A = this chain, B = another copy of it.
Amino acid sequence: MDLHFTEADEAFRIEIRTWLEGNLVDEFAALKGRGHLGDMDGVIPGRRRWEQRMVEAGWTCVGWPRAHGGRGLSLLQEVIFNEEYARARAPGRLGHIGEGLLGPTLMAFGTPEQQARFLPRIVDGTELWCQGYSEPNAGSDLANVKCRAEPDGDDYRLTGQKVWTSLAQDSDWCFVLARTSTEAKRHHGITCFLIPMDADGINVVPIKQITGGTEFCEVFFDGALAKGEHIIGEVGGGWRVAMGTLAFERGASTLGQQLNFQTELDEIIQAAKHNGTAADPVIRQRIADVYIRLRIMRLNALRTLTGHDDGTPPRAAMITKLYWASWHRDLGELAMDVLGADCMVLPESGELSELQRLFLWTRSDTIYAGTNQIQRNIIGERALGLPR
């Protein structure tokens, strides 16, 4: 057991911290705290320019191998990067789906040609990605994908509907699961396609959410052309690809979020001190409780970095999503209880306050990317070996 960071790691921390301090200024200062969950569709033009600033300094795809244009950082350094990024309140990354999901998927399942075509443009920020996996009837049950891909020469025509696609309005490309065979069993006959979002026959409709924001979209395909050369993995092998992507989704990308959460908790503590509820014994217990659970969230995350010798994370890593989603929901409820009667009054602007948005938005945390119920199935079956 040794939880010290090395001197090299600490030096790296200073490096990224210093860079962020020096660059989150002028027009970028206004981006602080923006573009995160619940606000992912906010301040897009500014965040595009910020991505370019990141590219220039080599801060995109820091965890990718050098061979693919990354920095080849260790997992721990990636954590440090994410922590400092969050601590600086730097804006939500526009390129995170390409960097965190599609890139690793391509490295694992793509051809050298596909890697050469797509990876550099994720690194240089010139192509943004969105993900087309979920459908209205394939939420928890991804194997139920209905979107059809019909052959057209060497290529395919996609027809169907995707939903909960973040940033679809602003993306250049989408990776899509579609059914290439209706005869095969549910898990078979699914194929993973890459398709440009400006193809004919693609229509994006934003979904207005509980907060009034629209970061998720529906994407309608009506015979849109996906090239055969842009299939990831085998035709009919999309299930395996999708499972790979989901594993990346649960990976290191969340490792900085505790710092964002800490910022939110700090705001609640300030509010409690300001309005006197900090003296309320019931509120004090609850603030201490969320603080304790946040500390442990970080420790759990650090623990996942020390995996087994074969590189797999410890089975305790499976609790990550259930843990943070439930915690964040509780934080939202606490925020309102700290505000008391003020919690229901909108600010002068008529828009939700940050804490009101937190409260409403966090109801979705326990739903997207695997509901709490699905997470408990996964833990029960995979970590504990309970029967289906």
Contact = CB atoms under 8 A, between A and B. Distances in A.
Nearest to A281: B281
A282 B280 CA distance: 10
Contacts of A353: none
A154 to B, nearest CB: 45
A285 B285 CA distance: 13
A14 to B, nearest CB: 44
Interface in A259-298: 280-282, 285
A285 B283 CA distance: 12
Contacts of A280: 281
Contacts of A281: 280-282
A281 B282 CA distance: 7
A281 B286 CA distance: 13
Nearest to A283: B281
A279 to B, nearest CB: 11
A281 B284 CA distance: 11
A280 B280 CA distance: 11
A237 to B, nearest CB: 34
A337 to B, nearest CB: 13
Contacts of A285: 282
A285 B280 CA distance: 13
Interface string A131-145: 000000000000000
A248 to B, nearest CB: 36
A20 B119 CA distance: 87
A280 B282 CA distance: 10
Interface in A209-251: none
Which of A280, A281, A285 is packed against the most chain B CB atoms within 10 Å? A281
A325 to B, nearest CB: 23
A281 B281 CA distance: 7
A371 B285 CA distance: 32
A289 to B, nearest CB: 12
Contacts of A282: 281-282, 285
A56 B294 CA distance: 66
A132 B280 CA distance: 53
A282 B282 CA distance: 6
A280 B285 CA distance: 13
Nearest to A285: B282
Interface in A309-325: none
A282 B281 CA distance: 7
Interface of A: 280-282, 285
Sort A-B residue pairs by CB-CB distance and give the 5 closest, nearest first: A281-B281, A282-B282, A281-B282, A282-B285, A280-B281
5 contacts: A280-B281, A281-B281, A281-B282, A282-B282, A282-B285
